[in-house]
Amino acid sequence: MSELIERKRDWHFTPNDKEIERGFKGWHERGYLPHFDAPNVTQLVTFNLVDSFPVKRRTEWEFLLKIENDSERRRTLEEWLDRGHGPCWLNQAAIAEVVETELLAGHNRDYQLQTWVIMPNHVHLVVDVRETPLRQLITIWKGRTAFKCNRLLGRRGSFWQEDYWDTFIRDARHLGTSIRYVESNPAKARLVKDSATWRWSSLRRKDRFGVLKLNAD
């Protein structure tokens, strides 16, 4: 895995001193998951609820983390998430609304959301990162939503699983594929027949030209 990270650093971005001061790390590693953090890039991001990979079923999913190929590892892990393991608090409208509201709070100010979907136990989004490192954005999203959601649920403790997955968007074709992947996830997971009817998604807020209309109900 360390060799994989080193190769990727050669392909892309190494932060300069000012960017390092602002918290950008370029390619780095946390546990099994490699991350890319740079200003003015677009990222496909996934983060999930605590215990959506249940400890009691660890033998069923732990090997997935060791898959060397990034794309294959991400695909198999997300297939596991789509099975709906764990508490699935995001199925509750009040909880999903807290998360969506927080994501939209910094949209067009601190970052630009291209698309998002809130699934029962995880969140997918494509975001244009600007001057705030992605890991800081995720820390903010997770921290604020965990506090509010735990209060609504009448519980304490971890709400989100530690860490996240991110994929650097290479070009326009990759962007289009990633947006379609995110927006089609509810139907792919067989939660609805038509993903456009899934309430907690950017897809239902887009007009026929694919432009976000954030005043949509």
Q: What is the mean pLDDT of each run of 10 residues along the chain (217 residues)?
A: 41 60 58 68 92 60 57 69 82 98 95 96 94 92 98 96 86 93 92 94 88 70
Question: What pLDDT is stored for residue 173 in this prediction?
Answer: 94
Please count the other Cβ atoms lying within 10 Å of the Cβ belonging to residue 125. 22
Give the residue from 136, 77, 90 showing the smallest Cα distance to 111.
Answer: 136
Q: What is the DSSP track for 25-38?
A: -EEEEETTEEEEE-
Tell me the pTM.
Answer: 0.78
Q: What is the model's pLDDT at position 142?
A: 97
Sheet holding 165-168: strands in order across? 111-118, 122-129, 41-48, 165-168
Of the candidates 146, 45, 190, the one whose C-alpha atom is nearest the C-alpha of residue 198 is 190
Domain ranges of the chain: 2-205
Answer for the pair 103, 95: CB distance below 8 angstroms, yes or no: no
CATH class of the domain defined by 2-205: alpha beta
Identify the burial level of 138 via C-beta atoms within 10 angstroms of its C-beta, where 0-12 means exposed, 13-18 middle and 19 or more buried: buried
Residue 22 contacts residue 109 (beta carbons within 8 Å): no
Contact 49, 90 (CB under 8 A): yes
